[in-house]
Structure 1
Amino acid sequence: MSWLEVTIYTSKQGLETITGLLLQMGVTGFVIQDPDDYDEFLTLQGTTWDYMDEDMEKLKDCETSIKFYLAENAQGQEMFHEIKNMLKRLKEEGDDYGKLTMDLGNVKEEDWANNWKQYFKPFTVGEKFVIKPTWETYDNVTDRMILEIDPNSSFGTGQHYTTQLCIEQLEDIIKLGQKVLDMGCGSGILSIAALMLDAEHVTAVDIEQNSVDIANENFEQNKMDKAKYTTYCGNILTDDALVETIGTGCYEVVVANIVADVIIPMRHLLKNFLVPGGTLVASGVIGERAEEVKEALVSAGFIAEAITEKNDWVAIRCKAND
């Protein structure tokens, strides 16, 4: 397997925050470089260390950074875009996390974005879907619905476990005529699945305009009726006008495949979007934080109904308390 070397440039303050968030996303190995380590080394030289090698001497002129590797496949691509969105959220917080830029080694982002596509082949999800990249053919005879997707530079190939968990939940809960809110829609894959499952209307929202544009392209690729979907770009945590536009008390189903640290502060808003007794599917949560997220949702007035898991990622299904 090929690997992409990724370096995030940050500040001393940002190291702990960013490595913690990366761990939550499933990135487990890092190389951290920080000029402060050089100064600390100098204070210990002669007591703990007897000599300085060339790599240690380079630290005095380096930028504070976190280096890690992503698999060059569809899951690596999804994680890459999840990390990009995480960095954007940190920039919007305005804390002193440094410049929060990413370097992809000697690979241009647009080149890598095409290279991983060779690993993205049609595959089945749940009991009702085949997920097919737009550039592939699928000649198998099947009773399953074929959902075509081109994530381009957005999250949502369907290969990430959290996306699959959400689709499997939607298969169980979507009923004819329901309205669905897809919060953090990415490529639009969950919105399209909901419409294929006979939802009456889907509202798809993402913080990235690029994701909204890609979602619209995927709606068209799958020949979705334009009257049955609406897309918005914005951050519901900071934009009251957007919340009002989306509408409260309107949706039988809300799906939020984001991350724990976004779902938790959104929990009251997510509940308010639902009709009494409506269903929330929250995913993008690693197993070790499942209980924390569940308790936060319960505190907002949800009743936890089910937790499903794949490869240490979970989806939490809740009912809005009447």
Structure 2
Amino acid sequence: MDWIKVTITTTSEGIDPVSGCLLNLGINGVEIADKDDFMAFLEENRKYWDYVDEELEKQKDADTTITFYLSDEATGLEQLAAVQNSMAELKTKDLEHRYGTLSLHSDHVKDEDWSEIWKQYFHPIPVGEKVLICPAWEKTENSKGRTIFTVNPGMSFGTGSHPSTRFCIEEMEKYLKPEDTILDLGCGSGILSVIALLLGAKNADAVDVDPNAVDVAYSNLKLNGLSKERYHAFAGDILTDRSVQERLGTYDIVLANIVADVIIALSGIVRRFMKKDGIFICSGIICERLEEVKTALKQAGFEIMEIREDKDWAALTCR
């Protein structure tokens, strides 16, 4: 399968609203090149790198862009049209022109070129107090005592750089106890549930509506030297498919890094998958939808223990 590489030109201020639009369209694996953040990121993480190559250095002088990939077939073309419409709508709301041109540029990419493209953009990322996310093609010996999660992101899934993923990992670090059991809803690359195992969880189940996610999650499990005996991933819709619900048990921590609408829908059923003192960590919430999500969770009987916000993104930890 070949791919369409789509690049949206925006500004630093436009990154979160554009990313939110893409996430609502089911696109959560993106490359962000932001001049304002680049130097701070470089200095903070230099201790994990021996050098910075010239191609990466060029980002500090480039436009702020968000790049993602769609399949070069009917489904991908439909998504591309939806993105164009979404950017046009966002532009009409941006009366102060804070988000830049929001122009789209597309190129065709051969399938065999994909693995090389990711290597240009993805470097080790420290998250929270304990985790260092590393791409499979980089060897990191200087982890500073952090638990290394090795990831092969695949085409459609995130790598841990997004605030919503970071929130989940940081909250999980706070509440995860040895031998806890984990349920990862909307698992994508399996990043959250595999990291949970690396941090000491007993076992984890992972669910995603995309069958490709199962293969990517198992691939990342293997990359990190973990056994399938502790991990079970499968495809299905937990909201509508009773057979999916029946395959699940009860868990100490339930993770849902999805979107506001799905979290609202989950609020009425997720309790049945939680142990008596279980924790529900949900993220991927655009701040303008935060009150809706809080209301739904409170109406379902949840106590909101923590609220995390970063620019346009939010996460909630509940019990």
Same fold (TM over 0.5): yes
Check whether the contact 1:271–1:301 (CA below 8 A) recurs between aligned residues.
Answer: no
Q: Is the 8 A contact 1:73 1:120 kept in 2?
A: no
1:86-105 correspondence runs (5 A)? 100-102=78-80, 105=106
Structure 1 residues 269 and 150: CA distance shift in structure 2, 3 A: same
% identical aligned pairs: 40
Larger Rg: 1
Task: Decide whether the 8 Å contact of 1:24 with 1:286 is kept in 2.
Answer: no
Aligned to 1:315: 315
CA distance in structure 1 between the partners assigned to 2:218 and 2:31 by the alignment: 28
Paired with 1:187 and 1:76, the residues of 2 have a C-alpha distance of: 20
1:294 corresponds to which residue? 294
Give, in whole Å, the separation in 1 of the partners of 2:242 and 2:222.
29
Confirm or deny: 8 A CA contact 1:256 1:282 kept in the other structure.
Answer: yes
Q: Where do residues 275-294 of structure 1 align in structure 2 (5 Å cutoff)?
A: 275-294=275-294
CA contact under 8 A between 2:6 and 2:69: conserved in structure 1? no
Change (3 A) 1:257 1:227: same
Q: Measured at CA, do residues 73 and 210 of structure 1 come closer, stay the same or move farther in structure 2, by a change above 3 Å?
A: farther
Cα 1:291/1:252, change in 2 over 3 Å: same
Structure 1 residue corresponding to 2:121, chosen from 119, 122, 131: 119
TM-score normalized by the length of structure 1: 0.69
Change (3 A) 1:4 1:296: same
What's the CA shift for 1:117?
Answer: 3.1
Q: How does 1:109-258 map to 2 (within 5 A)?
A: 110=111, 111=113, 114-247=116-249, 250-258=250-258
**TM-score, structure 2 length as denominator?**
0.69
Bigger mean CA offset, 141-150 vs 104-113: 104-113
User: Which structure is richer in relative contact order (CA contacts within 8 A, separation 6 or more)?
Assistant: 2
1:4 to partner: Cα distance: 3.0
Structure 1 residues 148 and 300, CA, compared in 2 at 3 Å: closer, same or farther?
Answer: same
Alpha-carbon offset, residue 208 of structure 1? 0.6
Give me the CA root mean square deviation: 2.9
- Which structure 2 residue ranges, 5 or more long, are not aligned? 9-15, 23-29, 35-64, 82-104
Measure, in 2, the Cα distance between the counterparts of 1:201 and 1:157: 22
Residue 246 of structure 2 aligns to a residue whose secondary structure is helix
Residue 71 (structure 1) shift: 5.2
- Per the TM alignment, residue 261 of structure 1 is displaced from its structure 2 partner at its CA by 1.3
Q: Are 2:109 and 1:108 aligned? A: yes
1: distance between equivalents of 2:306 and 2:69? 29
Q: Is 218-227 or 263-272 further displaced after alignment?
A: 263-272
- Write the distance in 2 (CA, Å) between the matches of 1:199 and 1:159: 22
The residue type paired with residue 138 of structure 2 is E
The number of residues matched between the two structures is: 245
The CA distance in 2 between the partners of 1:141 and 1:108, in whole Å, is 34
